[in-house]
Amino acid sequence: MTFIKDSLPILLIACGLFTTVLGAAHFFFPKLFHYRALVYTESNLQRELEPFRWGPLTYPLSLDSLYGLIWLMNQHVSFVLVSIGLVEVFYSRWLLHQASYLILWIAAWWLLRAASQLLLGRTRRNWLVLLWFLGLSVLHGWMGLA
């Protein structure tokens, strides 16, 4: 049992390295996945988008604002992932001994990410990705409660 407890910082650092790399890659996802070509298609150029409505609030949408929103969301996801990763890499012992509540928050983050995978499809690949992120969630949940 002592061996497992002593291995937790190494395990958390490994998770942090993966998370940092994933977060860094997310900064470039709109470019890597050619979102610009998807938004600015010939058929979309003539299209007028309905404004975003939330109760009395409205926000006009254009192809530019939609494309900007894609970048904005990816930048925010990237920032959170890189932040999580760096904290896990450089403050793993602190997380494990004094801030297990943050490890549980990270477990919730990965659980949400796992569940969201089904929004991308239900292929074998999507289920494998879902299981990977679910595994990260369970692992963090276990470390947070250990």
H-assigned helices in the chain: 2-26, 29-32, 35-39, 42-45, 63-90, 92-98, 100-116, 124-145
Mean pLDDT of 30-43: 93
Position 3 pLDDT exceeds 90: no
Cα angle at 127 between 15 and 113, to 5 degrees? 45
Cα angle at 66 between 108 and 58, to 5 degrees? 90
Alpha-carbon distance of 96 to 7, in angstroms, equals: 11
Mean pLDDT of 6-26: 95
pTM above 0.85, yes or no: yes
Q: What is the DSSP letter of 60?
A: -
| pLDDT range class, residue 74, cuts 50, 70, 90 | very high
Query: What is the number of residues in the chain?
Result: 146
